[in-house]
Amino acid sequence: MAQHSAPQADLAHMPHDHAGASVRTYVNIFIVLFVVTAIEVAASWLSDIGVPEWGEIAVLVLLAVVKGILVVAFYMHLRFDSRWFRGLFIAAFCIAVFMVTAFLLLWTYKRTVGGLVV
């Protein structure tokens, strides 16, 4: 008796689209992220040369946003995804950056109300 089974395609040999970046692009993004990280480390010493603390925080937040955008766009493949997902993520990302900035400002500049630190 012959055994018949449903034809199964060998998934390893199936053609599939690669809607992503090349290896060279990933290496270039890695180098850019490495350089931005080195700049962040150097920026942590800005207060030692007379830059106010708020300036140092602003530089570090800006560099973190740049790194976050690069990671999400390339390593998480959002750059190659649909516009709907991209718009949804950008809106959520902007809200998150606003909230982090608001909390940093809230916790950095303490206020006193009736002799109590708020």
Quickly tell me which residue has 């920026």 as its tokens. Answer: 43
Based on the number of CB atoms within 10 Å of its own CB, is 97 exposed (0-12), middle (13-18) or buried (19 or more)?
middle
Question: Is the model more confident about 112 or about 93?
Answer: 93
> Cα separations (Å) of 43 from 12, 30, 90?
47, 20, 26
Q: Report how far residue 108's alpha carbon sits from residue 78's, in angstroms, rounded to the nearest whole number.
A: 33
Per-residue pLDDT band for 27 (boundaries 50, 70, 90) equals: very high
Q: Is the pLDDT of residue 9 over 80?
A: no
Token digits of residue 46:
């800005």
In this prediction, residue 55 carries a pLDDT of 87
- What is the reported pTM? 0.62
Are 47 and 53 contacting, i.e. CB atoms less than 8 angstroms apart?
A: yes
Per-residue pLDDT band for 16 (boundaries 50, 70, 90) equals: low
In sequence order, the 6+-apart residues with CB closer than 8 A to the CB of 64 are 40
Q: Is the pLDDT of residue 95 over 90?
A: yes
Lowest average pLDDT, out of 3-12, 42-51, 74-83, 106-115, goes to: 3-12
Are 33 and 67 contacting, i.e. CB atoms less than 8 angstroms apart?
A: yes
